[in-house]
């Protein structure tokens, strides 16, 4: 038994004892459970298993520390009311905000951050990583790291535009249907049901096969697919608002439909709609990535994470994990947005932690 194994167990047991001494029940249960799990996995997998556990724990600790520091940074630079809300945010939400911030910086400043151009060929096909290329080259000899940075601008930017268009269409139709009611409400509701009854991937593949795969068509098709989901939620939320007394008072004053939507309904529906925007962005982002993987999304030579997975998939047969890097970028952003959305839904529900 070498010094690493002895130090590993001594460290965990020491932390467990400290947590028990200071009556930190949750910390003690976590640390001692990790000790027992490490003991079992160490017997089965040997020292390599302990190295994997230690590396995973270090990554989690680094993520937790970064999340805490980023939350405190936001608390310090935001106004008092916002800072008070941010101080109650869990570390998962702080981590999600940090990842979203990082992706936004990468997308906005991609030409500055990326060491090479988006389509610049600098090496041979599938060249290994070196001092010049952090992640190696793709099937055409382009720098993978640079293309991932540019992919943050293209993939996330396109998904954001499509989500905003879907949200504007769905939210406007939902509030109009709730305010006017009658045949308009019935027509919009049945039309949304028809769109939602068709699987999103099949519908998008059909439309893109007919109208082509340029960016404008992708945005419109994806927006049409997800606008009915926004419509259903907005119609439900606005339906609970339009029956309030202050809406009736506004109608008796002679206020029009646009005034009711802009001044009365929308301000009282903001919280659930913002949370829904985050969820819709995840769905749109994954759909666009899936379309690119199938070859009908963002077209080459534009860098896109979905197409990058497809283009470099052959490396997996040789034990290379390079194709998993853009896939991990997609998964990380999706999980991070959901962390933030979960916190916002918790706040909008009125629960207090």
pLDDT for the residue 318? 74
- CA–CA separation, 326 and 321 (whole Å): 10
**Over the chain, what is the mean pLDDT?**
85
pLDDT range class, residue 349, cuts 50, 70, 90: low
Q: Residue 262: what pLDDT?
A: 76
Q: Give the pLDDT score at 132.
A: 82
Contact 309, 144 (CB under 8 A): no
pLDDT at residue 228, as a whole number: 92
Choose between 353 and 343: higher pLDDT.
Answer: 343
Judge contact between 270 and 212, C-beta under 8 A.
no
Nearest alpha carbon to residue 208 among 198, 193, 220, 191: 220
Per-residue pLDDT reduced to its tens digit, 211-255? 888 888 999 999 999 999 999 988 888 888 777 777 778 777 777
Sign of the dihedral through C-alpha 178, 184, 190, 194: negative
**pTM, entire model:** 0.83
Crossing angle, helix 182-197 and helix 215-241, to 10 degrees?
A: 130
CA 241 to chain centre: 30
- Kindly tell me if the per-residue pLDDT of 307 is higher than 70: yes
Q: Is 121 left (phi over 0), alpha (psi -120 to 50) or beta?
A: beta
β-sheet bridge partners, residue 121: 142
pLDDT tops 60 at residue 207: yes
| The pLDDT of residue 199 is above 50 | yes
pLDDT at 139: 82
> Considering the chain, what percentage of its residues have pLDDT values greater than 90?
18
Q: Residue 353: pLDDT above 50?
A: no
Using CA atoms, how far apart are residues 341 and 272, in angstroms rounded to an integer? Answer: 10
* Cα gap 281→278, rounded to integer Å: 5
């Amino acid at each position: 038994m070498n010094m690493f194994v002895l130090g590993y167990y001594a460290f965990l047991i020491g932390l467990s004892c400290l947590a028990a001494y200071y009556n930190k029940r949750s910390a003690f249960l976590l640390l001692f459970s990790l000790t027992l799990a490490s003991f079992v996995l160490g017997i089965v997998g040997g020292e390599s298993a302990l190295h994997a556990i230690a590396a995973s724990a270090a990554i989690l600790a680094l993520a937790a520390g970064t999340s805490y520091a980023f939350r405190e940074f936001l608390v310090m630079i935001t106004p008092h009311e916002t800072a008070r809300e941010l101080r109650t945010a869990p570390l998962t939400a702080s981590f999600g905000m940090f990842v979203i911030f990082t992706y936004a910086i990468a997308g906005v400043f991609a030409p500055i951050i990326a060491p090479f151009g988006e389509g610049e060929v600098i090496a041979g096909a599938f060249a290994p990583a070196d001092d010049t290329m952090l992640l190696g080259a793709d099937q055409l000899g382009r720098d993978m790291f640079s293309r991932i940075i540019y992919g943050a601008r293209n993939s996330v930017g396109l998904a954001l535009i499509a989500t905003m268009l879907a949200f504007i269409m769905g939210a406007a139709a939902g509030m109009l249907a709730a305010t006017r009611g009658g045949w308009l409400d019935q027509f919009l509701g049945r039309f949304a049901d028809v769109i939602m009854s068709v699987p999103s991937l099949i519908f998008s593949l059909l439309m893109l096969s007919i109208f082509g795969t340029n960016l404008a068509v992708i945005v419109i098709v994806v927006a049409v697919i997800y606008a009915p989901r926004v419509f259903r939620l907005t119609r439900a939320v606005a339906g609970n608002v339009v029956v309030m007394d202050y809406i009736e008072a506004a109608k008796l004053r002679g206020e029009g439909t646009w005034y009711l939507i802009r001044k009365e309904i929308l301000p009282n529906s903001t919280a659930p709609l913002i949370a829904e925007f985050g969820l819709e962005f995840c769905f749109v982002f994954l759909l666009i990535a899936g379309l690119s993987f199938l070859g009908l999304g963002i077209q080459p030579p534009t860098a896109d994470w979905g197409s990058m997975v497809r283009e470099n998939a052959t490396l997996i047969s040789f034990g290379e994990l390079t194709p998993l890097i853009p896939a991990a970028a997609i998964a990380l952003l999706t999980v991070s947005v959901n962390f933030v959305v979960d916190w916002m839904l918790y706040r909008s529900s009125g629960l207090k932690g």
